[in-house]
Amino acid sequence: MIEVIKVQEKKDLKKFIDFPHELYARDGNYVPELYLAQKDLLNKKSHPFFDHSEADFFLAYKNDTIVGRIAAIKNNNYLEFTGIQSGKFGFFDVIDDYEVAEALLNVVADWQKERGLQHLTGPENYSTNETCGTLIEGFDTPPTVMMPYNKPYYKEFLEQYGFEKDMDLLSYKIKTEDVPDKLIRMSDKILERLNNKGITIRKINLKKFSEEIDKIIEVYNSAWEKNWGFVPMTDAEFKHAAKDMKQIVDPDFVLIAEHEGKPIGFTLSIPDMNMPLKRLKRGRLLPFGIFKLLYHKKDIDRVRIVTLGLVEGYRKLGIDAYFYMKAFEEAKKKGMSFGEASWILENNEMMNKAIENINGKVYKKHRLFKKAI
């Protein structure tokens, strides 16, 4: 018999966070999430998502053993911004048993219907601003930092339940050795042309981190406001995420574009912390995990381009090309073998073309699903 219970106590939340470690224990490509980061993300009292929206977390049991987990999410800002009456599901992990998946999804569908919602979409861990999508291609390599990973049968289970494709998200692999030298040399010419238009590009100043974040927030919400599935981040959400990011960011990989002093674009790339994280047992930093993490940071040989955005009116001037070129120029200098550009909407023709122009190849796909309830 399958029983699905709502997480209400601290001990249940710990089980919710730890379940993937059991599920993927024999999977060589699995990378554990940091326990403290997950605990913070799920904290209804302190995480800024819960200032405006709600979510409940559920565990599935079979014969007194945890066999799955899921979150039911009502993102009020998404509902207001898009007008789409769609609830979300996220944090979805399950053993290879469709009946368990069905039981978890039924609970979420009922939860959403109780709140008057007509559709169910996901997986999104609150929104597309966080980890989202089900991996459907590219199971042969570990995920990069802040990218989801799952069992191949998830797609089959979701489709069996009645979900259909909503949007595919593409991940490109770009080997630093494959980026044409002539393109990197072109970056100086592009920058000169931009400077003549009053546009400057600089690295983030970590000594003025708070001021820089205020500038980036404005660009972020403006640059993505017309993108499929987007919902603006509140100042509190953005600053909360930025605070965590500051611990791992390399200023050489964060560029800000300005026009006559006004921010018009930025790009953020992160050295792939999943490489050392893979060595942490159950995502614990204590007592000795922190030393493993610091020691193995030197082994990182890839970078992920997490986000790149330009305010409308500045999108066909070559700024995006310059951002990509500089990211791979820095990666080469640091001895990195490749970079990942992800996730890119499959219908974002301009961005996909820019990556293909530097010999990027799609090597992973994630899918977001939708279903009427």
Render pLDDT for 194-234 as a digit per residue (tens, 0 to 9).
999 999 999 999 999 999 999 999 899 988 888 888 999 99
What 331-337 contacts at long range (C-beta under 8 Å, 24+ apart), as own/partner pairs, is 331/176, 331/302, 331/303, 332/176, 332/179, 332/184, 334/252, 335/301, 336/176, 336/271, 336/300, 336/301, 336/302, 336/303, 337/175, 337/176, 337/177, 337/301, 337/302
Query: Does the pLDDT of residue 300 top 90, yes or no?
Result: no
- Please tell me the predicted confidence (pLDDT) of residue 298: 66
- Please tell me the predicted confidence (pLDDT) of residue 285: 52
Give the confidence band of 280 by pLDDT, cuts at 50, 70, 90.
Answer: low
Dihedral in degrees, nearest 10, Cα atoms 160, 166, 171, 172: 120
Selected residue with higher pLDDT from 8 and 274: 8
**Cβ–Cβ under 8 Å, residues 256 and 216:** yes
**Domain spanning 2-168: which superfamily?**
Gcn5-related N-acetyltransferase (GNAT) (3.40.630.30)
* Least confident residue range of 58-67, 139-148, 293-302: 293-302
**Cβ–Cβ under 8 Å, residues 85 and 337:** no
What is the separation, in whole angstroms, between the first and last Cα of the chain?
A: 25
pLDDT digits (tens, 9 = 90+) for 223-249: 888 888 899 999 999 999 888 788 788
pLDDT digits (tens, 9 = 90+) for 92-107: 999 999 999 999 999 9
Spell out the domain ranges in the chain: 2-168, 174-366
Query: Does the pLDDT of residue 327 top 70, yes or no?
Result: yes
Query: Does the pLDDT of residue 189 top 60, yes or no?
Result: yes
Q: How far apart are CA 365 and CA 350, in angstroms?
A: 18
Query: Does the pLDDT of residue 69 top 50, yes or no?
Result: yes
Average pLDDT over residues 33-57: 94
**Cβ–Cβ under 8 Å, residues 36 and 282:** no
- Please tell me the predicted confidence (pLDDT) of residue 289: 43
CA 362 to centroid of chain Cα atoms = 17
The 3-state DSSP class for residue 198 equals: coil
**Cβ–Cβ under 8 Å, residues 257 and 314:** yes
- Please tell me the predicted confidence (pLDDT) of residue 297: 62
Q: How far apart are CA 5 and CA 10, in angstroms?
A: 14
The residue among 221, 263, 252, 260 whose CA lies nearest residue 238 is: 221
**Cβ–Cβ under 8 Å, residues 328 and 341:** no
Predicted structure pTM score: 0.91
> Residue 110, exposed/middle/buried by CB under 10 A (0-12, 13-18, 19+)?
exposed
Query: Does the pLDDT of residue 136 top 90, yes or no?
Result: yes
Query: Does the pLDDT of residue 133 top 90, yes or no?
Result: yes
- Please tell me the predicted confidence (pLDDT) of residue 354: 83
Q: Distances in Å between the alpha carbon of 42 and those of 10, 130, 134, 283, 309?
A: 11, 13, 20, 15, 28
The 3-state DSSP class for residue 339 equals: strand
Query: Does the pLDDT of residue 295 top 70, yes or no?
Result: no
- Please tell me the predicted confidence (pLDDT) of residue 291: 41
Q: How far apart are CA 171 and CA 336, in angstroms?
A: 18
- Please tell me the predicted confidence (pLDDT) of residue 288: 46
Beta bridge partners of 175: 338
pLDDT digits (tens, 9 = 90+) for 142-185: 999 999 999 999 999 999 999 999 999 999 999 888 776 776 77
- Right CATH number for 174-366 from 3.30.420.40, 1.10.3430.10, 3.40.630.30, 3.40.640.10? 3.40.630.30
Q: Same fold for the domain at 2-168 and the one at 174-366?
A: yes
- Please tell me the predicted confidence (pLDDT) of residue 284: 58
- Please tell me the predicted confidence (pLDDT) of residue 6: 98
Q: How far apart are CA 138 and CA 151, in angstroms?
A: 11
Q: Mean pLDDT in the chain?
A: 90
Q: How far apart are CA 281 and CA 109, in angstroms?
A: 34
- Please tell me the predicted confidence (pLDDT) of residue 256: 95
Contacts of residue 240, Cβ cutoff 8 Å, sequence gap at least 6: 47, 48
The tokens describing 294, both together, are 């610091």
